[in-house]
Amino acid sequence: MIHRSVLRDRCVALLTPSIEKSADPIVVDATLGMGGHSEALLESFANLRIVGLDRDKEALAIASHRLERWSDRIDVVHAVYDQIPEVLSELGINGVDGILFDLGVSSLQLDELERGFSYAHSAPLDMRMDKSAGLTAADVLETYEKSQLIRILKVYGEEKFANRIAENIIKARAVGGLKSTTDLAELVKASIPAPARRIGGNPAKRTFQAIRIEVNQELEILQRALPKALNAIKVGGRVVVMSFQSLEDRIVKEVFQEASESKSPRELPIEIESLKAKFELVFRGSEKASAKEIEENSRAQSVRLRAIERVAS
Ligand SMILES: C[S@@+](CC[C@H](N)C(=O)[O-])C[C@H]1O[C@@H](n2cnc3c(N)ncnc32)[C@H](O)[C@@H]1O
């Protein structure tokens, strides 16, 4: 299947001023995936070095192969992106000119049906982006208390019928538990009243999103990672983030807002220099993909892009 990186040219354009300002520019691709964005950046700037991270070893292998031509200008690292400071310090790098986050799962992960991300195919309940670590979806479904399941389904899945689904997950344990993605998808369908089943696409979508977010600790990691990313940026450097669901985008928006607000008391006649904001939003609000890109790549449908620049040390 053809994989197209979302907002590829826009991301390159947003990082260009920061890369061009620097004599020996470095960009962190925090979500290397199959290396589409990194490829575009390496192609565009002959002096650019990239540090590419991913928690998925399979993605790293594919990206390394794809970016082989530039192997002297890219470090490929198996890491979770809240480890950016540790990765940079290990590489002896003090500050970087850009950091790109293309959040969520990759099309590679969705296409590999046996990884259990898809409710449309029968597979083991795994859903880990890093197959070498952490709890699987089956572990969550088998061991979490009802109240924890309800919270996850409500908060991460915005699921109205969280109580009924959680109740049925607990009941299923008594009869041998859920064995596959299809078992879970069927349980969700059976938990939802018939009229609600007819609207809003597959009813399992929200539950699968919720369990995946919990399994990969996606929101906690993002919340920890963004301040660390801002800290690693040099003056003139930018952080660019693409989110694909509202919970992620809310975190990005809040962290960027906080970083770009002056802490100087408003009632003072002049702004206190040391309390001025160290960051400025590159544009207000978030950007979406064009209708043309959405037509060519359905993943672009839900993207929200935000960018911030460091203006003071
Ligand atoms: C949408 S894909 C990136 C696609 C990439 N930009 C491209 O053009 O090919 C997201 C990638 O981020 C990785 N990822 C998600 N959360 C991560 C985290 N917390 N730390 C490191 N990698 C993560 C996933 O494993 C996946 O490979």
pLDDT at 200: 72
The Å distance, Cα 109 to ligand 1 centre, comes to: 10
For the CA of 217, the closest atom of ligand 1 is 19
Mutational pocket test of ligand 1: of 38, 42, 55, the residue with most ligand atoms within 8 Å of the beta carbon: 55
Using the mean position of ligand 1's atoms as its centre, give its distance from the Cα of residue 60 in Å. Answer: 10
CATH class of 8-108+218-310: alpha beta
CA distance 298 to 34: 17
Q: So where are the chain's domains?
A: 8-108+218-310, 131-215
Closest ligand 1 atom to 39 CA: 8
Tell me, in angstroms, the distance from the centre of ligand 1 to residue 183's CA: 27
Query: Which residues contact ligand 1 via a Cβ below 6 A?
Result: 5, 31, 33-37, 53-56, 59, 80-81, 102, 104, 106, 129, 221
HEC profile for the chain? CCCCCCCHHHHHHHHHHHHHHCCCCEEEECCCCCCHHHHHHHHHCCCCEEEEEECCHHHHHHHHHHCHHHHHHEEEEECCHHHHHHHHHHCCCCCEEEEEEECCCCHHHHHCHHHCCCCCCCCCCCCCCCCCCCCCHHHHHHHCCHHHHHHHHHHHHCCCCHHHHHHHHHHHHHCCCCCCHHHHHHHHHHHCCHHHHCCCCCCHHHHHHHHHHHHCCHHHHHHHHHHHHHHHEEEEEEEEEEECCHHHHHHHHHHHHHHCCCCCCCCCCCCCHHHCCCEEECCCCCECCCHHHHHHCHHHHHCEEEEEEECCC
Could you identify the atom of ligand 1 that is nearest to the CA of residue 225? Answer: 19
Atom of ligand 1 at shortest range from CA of 8:
8
Closest-CA residue, ligand 1 atom 7, reads 36
Ligand 1 atom index nearest CA of 33: 27
* Closest residue by CA, ligand 1 atom 3: 33
Cα(103) to centroid(ligand 1), Å: 6
Provide the CATH number for the domain formed by 131-215 in this structure.
1.10.150.170
What is the pTM assigned to this prediction? 0.96
Token pair recorded at residue 253? 């928006």
Tell how far the Cα of 55 is from the centroid of ligand 1, in angstroms.
7
pLDDT of 2 reads 56
pLDDT for 1 equals 47
> Which ligand 1 atom sits nearest the alpha carbon of residue 35?
9
Which protein residue has the closest C-alpha to ligand 1 atom 15? Answer: 104
pLDDT mean by block of 10 residues, the chain; 313 residues: 85 98 98 98 98 97 98 98 98 98 92 90 95 95 98 96 97 94 96 83 92 97 98 98 96 98 94 95 98 94 97 96
